[in-house]
Amino acid sequence: MEENVVGKRVPQVDSWLKVTGTLRYSFDIELPGQLYVALVTSRYAHARIRSVDTSDAIKSPGIVGVFTGKDFPFRIGLYIADRDLLATNKVRWVGHPVAAVVGTSMAAAEEAAEKVSVDYEPLEPVLDVEKAIEKGAPLVHEDMASYNYYKGFINPVPGTNIANDFRLVKGDVSSGFAESNVIVEETFKIPQINHAPMEVQNVLAYWRPDDYVEVWTSAQSPFATRYLTAASLNIPVNRLIVHVPPAGGGFGLKAGIGWEPLAIMISKSLRRPVKLVLSRSEQMTSAPSRDGLVANVKAGFSKDGRFKAYEATFMMDAGAYADYTVNVARTTGYSADGAYDIENISVKSLAIYTNKIPTTAMRGFGHPENHWPLEQVMDRAADMLGLDPVKIREINLHVPGKSVRGTGEPVREYDGNPRGVLEALVKGIGYWEVEKPSEPWKVRAKGLAMLVKAPSQPPNAGASAIVKIDEDGTIDVITGTGSMGQGTPTSLAIIAAEAFGVPVEKVKVNQLEGVSTDQNPYTWQTVGSRGLYSDGIALLRAIEDAKNQIREMASAVFRVPKDDIEIRGGQVYPRTHPEHRLGLKDFAMGYTYPNGNTIGGPVIGRGSYAPVLNTFLDEKGHGHNTVFHTYGGTAVEVEIDLLTGEVRVIKVVQAFDVGRVINLLTLEGQAFGGFIMGMGSALYEEIKFDKQGWVLNPNLTHYYVPRITDLPDEIDAVFLETPQMDGPLGARGIGEHVMIAVAPAISNAIYRGLKVKLNEIPMNAERVWKAIKEQRPELISSAFEQALSRAEEIHV
């Protein structure tokens, strides 16, 4: 049996249960007597509710309760408490839940929901971020001044539609532009997109007769869900037990607080278990999506290619509720300089309310948003300067140990190797080689984009871990990180196996069954690519604690100093006399001498972690707010059909400096899956609204996520290992980085191949064709002639 498994390919611990359909998701959990909820949702983007008539619905067969906003007159939220459980006074988007109809079966509830009638007084909706910040725009939240929010962290502006106004200032951009020889000025756009997890959001809540509350929910962050829900509903934290079974995908959607408060309050009212399951179209209209973006950017470069000044206004379409997007806007702002040394920076990043779908965190958290403009600016500037896209990056990339970020944080020696990432991309994709297209009317092109990202979290985002040794020497690892396919539990098992020198099969991580807040130790959230790093550090401390307990006993048993005890290969022995050996099992429950005397006791190690020396950011966006940065990048080879505008990705290279590879299989899975997800938003995905704010594609037919037939022929992943000084075994996080640079890499490839600019995603066939037609019409006509002349040849 292989003992040293770090860096090898280890299948995820829950793979067998997943592929055999045995894993229990929260959807699978049922309680006797549970009730079902059907939602009545708004048909207006913005309207005052004159009245809700529930009298027919309540009389419908099998109905035990009908609830409206009036039943729950309070607001909830993570960073800003702007959400109601059900619409109160007015509806703010099409899909806003107005009433909840509760019945003994889903069919009964759905049938009765049709009988709820709502009398609306339509109001003018605001559906565009630029209009939303004009003076006199309709207000989505008139009462913003009364909302609770995380002071010192975000900055809402009551009386406007601005939920957060974040600024980052470094140097003086006007003098930076004065020193610039070349200026790139562009507007870039991103639509709202959906997370589209396989498992839709669902909650089972039970307000028990003893006034303890149990919740089973498809969520990412058990403890944040518990704390925020308890605080919102005035429940003592330890009386709320949140169970988070493995989730069928999260992608940020299931971070923070979701549908739990509504299900709990209904259960409190009816004193029965309540199950709330969204339909796919509710998931795509009534639940949050990712923010949209309009970004006006201006970048100045000196003639030798130095990035002198960057001015950016990010207008993030937060939709009707911004409880998480306020931090997305903050993050987009403070990390707007990406992986580059920029001398002068002025960034304004706004989270803006509109009458569209509310928004929340999503994989990448503000970084797909700020890298989409920044990484294209680099290629456009290179073109204007007569440099190539690789050279301009070499000139401006962070130099660890020397560079300083926009926030004033130094780029540390151990932060990674951005230059090495760039080299890996150039080499891997064969950046300088020209490939032949499959047809004469198509064009092959290569492009790349860099990225850097740190977890975006409050300064006290802690983690903790417990390690227990079982009677036979097997090991239990318990942390608070949820399992949603990202692979953290398996990586933690590998770390524990390595530390004790046992095969990974001997370690069990309890996330296999899910996390329960009354059984698992605290971790802040399962977000931000922070799990392996934060829980990993806590776990190593817990392991050290457990080992110390074993060393104490072994010191007595072997009669050697404690510090001379080695614990390796699953065995315990004096360093100087390794022929005297005992197993872990001999100490698991305390050591028992032949006469029955026992010393020590069951081994249980605990470890805690909190970010070191982190601060809030000041009014200029300066401070120390990160724990590690992961550098990476994506390079692509695409083929563009000039007749249809269709872009196909042929080959991909993903490169990241991960510090240390813990599980190669998971890393590759992240690199491949993240690319595909990034490609979906780059080429296809977009929530489409009509002029009234109706969603035109609330389904997976017309909201298109990539299918197997859309995948590139080849995806390669390269991992660099510049150890993170404080990371577990030197590792740092990777879960989000894998999709951040995908869209700009594809756009840069198109620009390099055709000199056609695409400033807006998705780069679907029609958008690309129209861009070619506007910017290089001659390409389309000559492609048509090419195609015809080839047809002639075949005919002859």
Partner 1 sequence: MSFGSPYVTLPRFSYLRPRSLDEAFEALEGGNAKVMAGGIGLLNFMKERLLAPSVVIDIKGIPELSGIRLSGDVRIGAAVRLVELEENRSLELIAPTLYRAVRQIADPIIRSSATLVGDVCEAIPWTDGPTALAALDASASVVSKNGERKVKVADLVQGLGQLAIDENEIVKEITFSSGYKKGTYVKFSNASEYALASVAVAYSPESGIARVSVGSLAEKPQVFTLEDAGTSPDEEVSAMIRKVSSYIESGLSAVDDILGSAEFKKQVAKALIIKAFKEVF
Contact residues toward partner 1 (CB under 8 A) are: 39, 41, 106-107, 110-111, 277, 279-282, 284-285, 641, 643-646, 683-686, 688, 695-702, 704, 762, 764-766, 769-770, 784, 787-792, 794-795
| Least distance to partner 1, CB of residue 146, Å | 32
Provide φ and ψ at 420, rounded to 5°: -65, -35
**Are the beta carbons of 502 and 570 closer than 8 angstroms?**
yes
| Least distance to partner 1, CB of residue 110, Å | 5
* CA–CA dist 409, 264 (Å, integer): 43
| Least distance to partner 1, CB of residue 685, Å | 8
| Least distance to partner 1, CB of residue 72, Å | 21
| Least distance to partner 1, CB of residue 681, Å | 11
- Looking at the Cβ atoms of 41 and 355, the one nearer to partner 1 is 41
| Least distance to partner 1, CB of residue 286, Å | 8
Q: Is the dihedral of CA 669, 526, 728, 464 positive or negative?
A: negative
* CA–CA dist 34, 413 (Å, integer): 56
- Looking at the Cβ atoms of 333 and 712, the one nearer to partner 1 is 712
- Looking at the Cβ atoms of 146 and 699, the one nearer to partner 1 is 699
Contact residues for 781 (Cβ-Cβ < 8 A; gap 6+): none
| Least distance to partner 1, CB of residue 300, Å | 36
- Looking at the Cβ atoms of 76 and 683, the one nearer to partner 1 is 683
| Least distance to partner 1, CB of residue 660, Å | 39
- Looking at the Cβ atoms of 157 and 643, the one nearer to partner 1 is 643
Beta strand ranges found along 136-210 (DSSP E):
162-170, 182-190, 202-207
Q: How far is CA 682 from CA 374, 589, 741, 744, 745, in A?
A: 15, 55, 10, 8, 10
- Looking at the Cβ atoms of 202 and 370, the one nearer to partner 1 is 202
**What is the rounded radius of gyration, in angstroms, for the C-alpha atoms of the chain?**
28
| Least distance to partner 1, CB of residue 696, Å | 6
For the chain, the straight-line distance linking the first and the last C-alpha, in angstroms and rounded, comes to 66
- Looking at the Cβ atoms of 288 and 416, the one nearer to partner 1 is 288
Sheet of 47-53: strands edge to edge? 90-91, 47-53, 117-122
Give the alpha-carbon dihedral of 4, 567, 725, 531, to 10 degrees. 70
**Are the beta carbons of 98 and 87 closer than 8 angstroms?**
yes
- Looking at the Cβ atoms of 277 and 316, the one nearer to partner 1 is 277
State which H helix or E strand residue 102 sits in: strand 97-103
- Looking at the Cβ atoms of 266 and 316, the one nearer to partner 1 is 266
Name which of 350, 358, 339, 472 is nearest 397 in CA terms.
Answer: 339
- The residue to which tokens 């080429």 are assigned: 683
- Looking at the Cβ atoms of 44 and 324, the one nearer to partner 1 is 44
| Least distance to partner 1, CB of residue 479, Å | 34
3-state secondary structure 40-95: EECCCCCEEEEEEECHHHHHCCCEEEEEEHHHCCCEECCCECCEECCCCCEECCCC
DSSP 558-569: HTS-GGGEEEET
**Are the beta carbons of 277 and 200 closer than 8 angstroms?**
yes
| Least distance to partner 1, CB of residue 693, Å | 15
Helix spans in 559-632 (H): 585-588
Contact residues for 432 (Cβ-Cβ < 8 A; gap 6+): 426
**Are the beta carbons of 295 and 374 closer than 8 angstroms?**
no
- Looking at the Cβ atoms of 98 and 542, the one nearer to partner 1 is 98
Sheet of 571-574: strands edge to edge? 565-568, 571-574, 582-583
- Looking at the Cβ atoms of 147 and 694, the one nearer to partner 1 is 694
- Looking at the Cβ atoms of 597 and 701, the one nearer to partner 1 is 701
